[in-house]
Structure 1
Amino acid sequence: MTRLATPPVPTRRALLVGAPVLAGSLALGTSPASAKDPVLHPGDRGSAVKTMQKDLAARGYWCGSADGSFGATTTQAVYALQKAAGLAKDGVFGAKSRAALKKGTRPKPRITSGTAFEVDKKKQLLYCISGGTLKYILNTSTASGKKYYSGGRWKTATTPSGDFKMYSFPSSGWQTAPLGRLYRPGYYDRGWAIHGATSIPPYPASHGCSRLSVAATDMLWKGGWMKKGRRVLVH
């Protein structure tokens, strides 16, 4: 029997200088799947992140400027997409999130006319509607449903449902309230408001208000969204 010669294994140097690679081999540190559709995580940077940001913004998932940096504002947008699509809310832009975005996944608000805010407690999303059209989809965190102690008694964190109008804007910056700090709040029902916060997890965690990121809150103020008489539908 004739013994077949064993083909030589390419050295690291041969791979680096461009020598022919045997069939079935891959260049170091790469794979066709990851090169085509990379899984993006908070903290990542680069052109793939910038493309993702542009695609998110085109679908209404506000993430600030497309700067190629997967920071906190972009993470909030990915949370919003994942909530709208019914996916695990991990903030990682993987295959399922990419498919949902490519498919054009967007929630369907109840408000179909006028300019208003709509807080969807089930999905934990806040919709910004302009002229009856859904413009922005923002991650929000409403009441946790947990007990807390305030004013000499125990209370339950709740976000009441209803159709309200904004009536008070007591601070142009951070406001210290009995239950914590609120950034540029817009009150619409007694002590309930839409406001910025430093923590907006992808689940209900507030005492009752609808939390948004500081960046999103600034965007809404700059765009004229926060004004007296603005409709706020909570359901």
Structure 2
Amino acid sequence: MSGSIRRGTVTVVTAAALAVGLGACGGVTWTPKGSETVAAPEVTGGVAGVAGTSETATPSPTATPGPTAPSRSAAPTPTPSATRTVTPKPKPTPSGTPKPKPPPSRTAEPVHEVLRLGDRGPEVLALQKRLSSLGYWLGEPDGHYGGLTQQAVWALQKTAGISRDGKVGRRTQRALDDGVRPRTRLDGNGVDIDLGRQILMIVRGGQVRYTLNTSTGGGYEYERKDGSTATARTPKGTFRVGYTVDGPDEGFLGEMWRPRYFNGGYAVHGSPSIPAYPASHGCARVSNAAMDMIWSRDLMPKGSGVLVR
């Protein structure tokens, strides 16, 4: 029939329009299934109502089917981004049994050189100067650790309340470094004898000028020259120097060097033996050299005070 379009043509137009619409929503092309093959339109004569066209219409080209879409959904399926696969490196297999780590070594403490009786050298000289600066009398520093240096070390150890071994170890060195000095109860001038610590302090203006090792009454029983028995003790109290003997003296308590008596027969005197503990019959012993120093400087004049506590 001339000028008519078959039904197949309508199908083509409809399909083409749908394809264009889907293409505009994200580039998805619809492709008819295999059973829905679209035939090319057959045109017979001209199209009615269309001006300026030839009677014989050129057949429309068959649409080239696009890639097959996974579904008819209008929304595009996002393409997954490429994932980089990281292959872990295999851990090395330990060869053999690992050896245990040794414990951290402790830093060795410096060895302190102990100074003692009989030593000589610059260390001893430095010790003597330090003792002298703190008032522990030992005569003139000469670098020799002799008896007077030991007396001064004992006096320091007694003042500090540490072991009275007469050696300069760690604790004694610490007392030296700390500048340990005794305190007196006297306000002016005099002699302060501390029975508890067994030290004798020579005080000037309420300040301790010299500290000496002393040995007082030992608390033991002894026999006097007249045959009577007595207890070796040093009486406490406040006294004054009564009389003095510039040389050796034989008293009822024994022989004494240059004694300065302060309470009857009790005196401060020199002796060749002054241990670090109470050992006398009752007097306050100091070294003969220390007693000579007291005399030469007149540190215990007659009438001066003596405190025994």
Q: TM tier, shorter chain?
A: 0.7 to 0.9
- For residues 14-66 of structure 1, the C-alpha deviation after alignment (integer angstroms, 9 at most, x for no partner) is xxxxxxxxxxxxxxxxx9935xx421010001100000000001111111111
1:97 CA displacement = 0.3
With a CA cutoff of 8 Å and minimum separation of 6, indicate the structure with the bigger relative contact order. Answer: 1
The answer on 1:199 being equivalent to 2:276 is no
Moved over 4 A (4+): none
What TM-score comes out, normalization by structure 1 length?
0.83
Residue 127 of structure 1: which of 195, 198, 201 is its match? 201
- For residues 135-182 of structure 1, the C-alpha deviation after alignment (integer angstroms, 9 at most, x for no partner) is 01110000000001112321111100010000111x322222333220
What TM-score comes out, normalization by structure 2 length?
0.63
3-state SS of paired residue (1:158): coil
The answer on 1:152 being equivalent to 2:237 is no
Residue 254 of structure 2: which of 180, 183, 195 is its match? 180
Structure 2, gaps ≥5 residues long:
1-107
- Where does residue 223 of structure 1 map in the other structure? 297
Q: Residue 41 of structure 1 aligns to which amino acid in structure 2?
A: R
1:106 CA displacement = 1.2
How many residues align structurally?
203
Q: Residue 33 of structure 1 aligns to which amino acid in structure 2?
A: P
The separation in 2 between residues aligned to 1:69 and 1:181, in whole angstroms, is 29
Q: Residue 131 of structure 1 aligns to which amino acid in structure 2?
A: G
The separation in 2 between residues aligned to 1:145 and 1:61, in whole angstroms, is 27
Residue 135 of structure 2: which of 57, 60, 76 is its match? 60
Judge conservation of contact 2:252–2:265 (CA < 8 Å) in 1: no
- Where does residue 69 of structure 1 map in the other structure? 144
3-state SS of paired residue (1:80): helix
- For residues 67-124 of structure 1, the C-alpha deviation after alignment (integer angstroms, 9 at most, x for no partner) is 001001110000000001111111001111000111011122111x211000000000
The separation in 1 between residues aligned to 2:265 and 2:252, in whole angstroms, is 10
The separation in 2 between residues aligned to 1:114 and 1:204, in whole angstroms, is 27
The separation in 2 between residues aligned to 1:179 and 1:114, in whole angstroms, is 30
- Where does residue 33 of structure 1 map in the other structure? 110
3-state SS of paired residue (2:131): helix
Residue 181 of structure 2: which of 106, 131, 138 is its match? 106
- Where does residue 14 of structure 1 map in the other structure? none
Q: Residue 137 of structure 2 aligns to which amino acid in structure 1?
A: W
- Where does residue 3 of structure 1 map in the other structure? none
Q: Residue 154 of structure 2 aligns to which amino acid in structure 1?
A: Y
The separation in 2 between residues aligned to 1:44 and 1:155, in whole angstroms, is 41
Q: Residue 283 of structure 2 aligns to which amino acid in structure 1?
A: C
- Where does residue 161 of structure 1 map in the other structure? 236
Q: Residue 178 of structure 2 aligns to which amino acid in structure 1?
A: K
- Where does residue 233 of structure 1 map in the other structure? 307
Instruction: Specify the structure having the higher radius of gyration (Cα).
Output: 2
Q: Residue 75 of structure 1 aligns to which amino acid in structure 2?
A: Q
